[in-house]
Amino acid sequence: MSEHPIAARWRALRGGEGTGTRRAALIPYLTAGFPTPDISLEALRVVAGAGADFIEVGVPFSDPLADGPTIQRSTQAALDHGMTVARVLEQIHRAGLSIPVIVMTYLNPVLAFGLERFLREAAAAGVTGLLLTDFPAGADPALEGTVGASALALIRLIAPTTTADRLARAVRGASGFLYLISRLGVTGARDRVPADLSEHVARVRATCSLDLSAAVRAA
């Protein structure tokens, strides 16, 4: 069985692709369809060409409860341009990216599209991972099993308030990497990271061997 694209990318980053060095990953987030579908398509190719290691592609959703004003506005603009789950997958396919693509979305759009259909068509479009922002680990074992049996990695979110017991349960069945939320609240630009972020990272690393993506982003 061939190595999963996300695991292969992390291995290359840890080994520096033969250079003997390791570095952090650059993982930009783009709302699909913002500011327009055509520019959004070009943006995917531009960030990949500029050195992104992975790309997170956000699916526009009418109730982005975890996101602040910036992503809310980009999401609404994309919806106004007629972006749908199908059009997001089409755009990823057209982009023809050679780096792993993670779809970040809420559960509702995936269920409305059809879970198995989404997993099948997303994989065909070039998606390698799925991050469901409002889906707690263990909330639906059958759904998790379906994603786990697909070609897409099921990426877990870990919050600053996650207890030790909850953390152990949350990382069970996770794949690809862990998405570590660096602070409480919705997404949004900040001029500093939490003072205890390093301790938070160390606590999660001690629980799971997966790589970490710390959500420290101006979004």
Active site residues: 56, 67
Short-list 6, 14, 29, 23, CA closest to 176: 6
Name 161's Cβ contacts closer than 8 Å, sequence gap at least 6: 184
CA–CA dist 161, 175 (Å, integer): 21
Buried b (16+ CB within 10 A) or exposed e, 33-45: bbeebeebbebbe
SS3 state at 25 = coil
| 85, 66 Cβ separation under 8 angstroms | no
Beta bridge partner(s), residue 58? 31, 104
At 145, the amino acid letter reads G
Beta bridge partner(s), residue 199? none
